[in-house]
Amino acid sequence: PRAHITLDRQALVAPVRRRTFGSFVEHLGRCVYTGLYEPGHPTANDDGFRMDVVALVRELGSSTVRYPGGNFVSGFRWEDSVGPREQRPVRRDLAWHALESNQVGLDEFARWLKLTDSELMLAVNVATRGILPALDLLEYANHPSGTALSDLRIANGTPEPHDIRMWCLGNEMDGPWQTGFMTADDYGKIAARTAAAMKMADKDLELVVCGSSGSGMPTFGDWERTVLEHTYDHVDYVSCHAYYQELDGDLGSFLASATDMDFFIDTVVATADHVGFKKRSTKKINISFDEWNVWYLKEHMESQQAETEWRHAPRQLEDTYTVADAVVVGNLLMTLLRRSDRVTSASLAQLVNVIAPIRTEPGGPAWRQTTFHPFSITSRLASGEVVRPVIESPVYETARYGEAALVDAVATVDEDRAAVFLVNRDLAEAAQVTIDVRGLGSSRVAEALTLADPDVYAKNTLDDQNRVVPAANTTAVLADGVLTVTLPPVSWTAIALR
Ligand code: AHR
């Protein structure tokens, strides 16, 4: 296919928001235990955190980290995970049918975040606890000193408050799999009360109310409307969650997953604005897309039902990603960037081992999955403002999403630099792309990287950790204000311009 793209620094969407590059750490499988935390590992620091993982997280360039769940949070008592470690109880985690040792809790995790230079986004258990435990956690975490719980935090070894700004009011409360799931009406009421009380303690908190667990949920749309009718005045964000995978060998549809994400965002924005208008409110609710990724969910559902034992940190959701998965992840991130006007926070789910860009072996190495690369390169190169691209591309027919463009793109522009991100969804042919960059004022290609492989199912594994890495794209040439580049079939590309 041939595609033409026009980029102009007059056509801006919104600033590039660092929170778009958030991620997610859940107490699930080996994300925490033997993932980021493994006392006795050759790279472990005094806290037991693996410094090889810290180095990869820094390279990934993730910003906020959502914690500690996920479905896990709906059965969690935060008090279990602070104070002397030897006194912390072992509990059953019903969400993932596993044992939780509570050896890592808020105070340890906050120290880990400092190592990775990330911001904490904390979820409270709205599902099975209540307003007071949420307020207690807020006092423990954020109050400076001189109250029972802030002094307890200090006694536990954390003198400075954590000063957590973003808080999630539960997780996926629309999902029947959620411990304590609710109707939209019930959840809206409890979320509104919890949010109002938390803002009595600190009016500047940024609160995220649960939206739908996916655009395919039967309650999608009505859920957002009802929940926001209750909570609109008290919250700042509504969440979206979306996972994609190739189904029935339909790679074409899978590669167009970003069109569903676009539809999801459009619908939630329209619903939120509708509720806002009905309330005659000038306030806008933004989207926290706080779970998104490729996940082989179908395979997981089949194996999860077989889980009978109660084990600590079992291998769960350890998906090994392909080149095609990385192209989709890169494309989803492009979509989030392109919607930076209303998606002002997002979290790749998750960070280590569990559907994650980083994998580890206990006592062994840590390595980058294929999906690591588009995320880390986009996080490194995107800066300044997001540019709304005008894309002229041939389309193809998908079984799942109808017509989709073969070439998709987004760009960012800063004072002295710009970056263009592209995918070619064609299964067989390279795309010849011309990009008019006169309106960006760029004059040369500083860097061009493409992720592609003749085997679109190639993966990085323990035995072959760098089987798939991005390579320089030497076809990228900028002359007379026109950037030309060839994109291999099923590929993701980033081009940095100066
Ligand atoms: O990220 C894995 C799980 O996916 C989370 O715990 C849950 O919120 C979602 O269903």
Same domain (yes/no): 37, 176 = yes
Same domain (yes/no): 341, 488 = no
Confidence (pLDDT) at 284: 98
Same domain (yes/no): 328, 210 = yes
Confidence (pLDDT) at 37: 98
* Per-residue confidence band for 207, with pLDDT thresholds at 50, 70 and 90: very high
Nearby residues of 350 by Cβ (< 8 Å), 6 or more positions away: 23, 24, 25, 26, 28, 31, 70, 293, 356
Query: Which residues is 33 bridged to in the sheet?
Result: 37
Report, as an integer, the average pLDDT of 465-476.
98
* Nearest CA residue ID for atom 2, ligand 1: 70
Structure tokens, 109 = 């995790």
Residue 428's CATH number: 2.60.40.1180
- The interface pTM score, or ipTM, of the predicted complex is 0.99
* Per-residue confidence band for 300, with pLDDT thresholds at 50, 70 and 90: confident
Same domain (yes/no): 210, 294 = yes
Tell me how far apart the alpha carbons of residues 207 and 214 are, in angstroms, rounded to a whole number: 20
Nearby residues of 487 by Cβ (< 8 Å), 6 or more positions away: 407, 422, 423, 424, 430, 431, 433, 450, 452, 493
Annotated catalytic residue 361: no
Does any domain span residue 11? no
Does any domain span residue 309? yes
* Per-residue confidence band for 371, with pLDDT thresholds at 50, 70 and 90: very high
Q: Which of 339, 363, 381 is the C-terminal boundary of a domain?
A: 381
Domain count, the chain: 2
Domain that holds residue 392: 387-497
Same domain (yes/no): 392, 355 = no
Supply φ then ψ for residue 147, to 5 degrees. Answer: -125, 165
Same domain (yes/no): 119, 201 = yes
In whole numbers, what is the pLDDT of the chain averaged over residues?
97
- Catalytic pick among 26, 246, 291, 385: 291
* C-alpha 70 – ligand 1 centre gap (Å): 5
pLDDT over 90 for what percent of the chain? Answer: 98
Inform me whether the pLDDT recorded for 306 exceeds 70: no
Tell me how far apart the alpha carbons of residues 130 and 126 are, in angstroms, rounded to a whole number: 6
Report, as an integer, the average pLDDT of 321-330.
98
Inform me whether the pLDDT recorded for 437 exceeds 70: yes
pTM assigned to the model:
0.98
Report, as an integer, the average pLDDT of 190-206.
98
- Catalytic pick among 172, 224, 246, 385: 172
Residue 110's CATH number: 3.20.20.80
Same domain (yes/no): 376, 413 = no
Tell me how far apart the alpha carbons of residues 494 and 268 are, in angstroms, rounded to a whole number: 29
Report, as an integer, the average pLDDT of 229-238.
98
Does any domain span residue 245? yes
Closest CA to 350 of 20, 26, 21: 26
Confidence (pLDDT) at 299: 86
Does any domain span residue 2? no
Q: Which of 364, 381, 398 is the C-terminal boundary of a domain?
A: 381
Same domain (yes/no): 29, 73 = yes
Inform me whether the pLDDT recorded for 92 exceeds 90: yes
pLDDT digits (tens, 9 = 90+) for 66-87: 999 999 999 999 999 999 999 9
Annotated catalytic residue 108: no
Does any domain span residue 10? no
Same domain (yes/no): 411, 338 = no
* Nearest CA residue ID for atom 3, ligand 1: 70
Helix (H) or strand (E) holding 264: helix 257-278
Nearby residues of 207 by Cβ (< 8 Å), 6 or more positions away: 166, 167, 169, 195, 198, 199, 234, 235, 236, 237
Does any domain span residue 8? no
Confidence (pLDDT) at 302: 82
pLDDT digits (tens, 9 = 90+) for 382-419: 999 999 999 999 999 999 999 999 999 999 999 999 99
Same domain (yes/no): 171, 275 = yes
* C-alpha 213 – ligand 1 centre gap (Å): 9
Does any domain span residue 177? yes
* Per-residue confidence band for 308, with pLDDT thresholds at 50, 70 and 90: confident
Confidence (pLDDT) at 301: 84
Same domain (yes/no): 90, 126 = yes
From the alpha carbon of 71, which atom of ligand 1 is closest?
6
* Pocket mutation for ligand 1, best pick of 26, 73, 292 (most atoms within 8 Å of C-beta): 26
Confidence (pLDDT) at 303: 77
* Nearest CA residue ID for atom 4, ligand 1: 70
Inform me whether the pLDDT recorded for 113 exceeds 80: yes
pLDDT digits (tens, 9 = 90+) for 33-69: 999 999 999 999 999 999 999 999 999 999 999 999 9
* C-alpha 417 – ligand 1 centre gap (Å): 37
* C-alpha 9 – ligand 1 centre gap (Å): 38
Same domain (yes/no): 220, 360 = yes
Q: Which of 312, 347, 381 is the C-terminal boundary of a domain?
A: 381
Helix (H) or strand (E) holding 148: helix 148-155
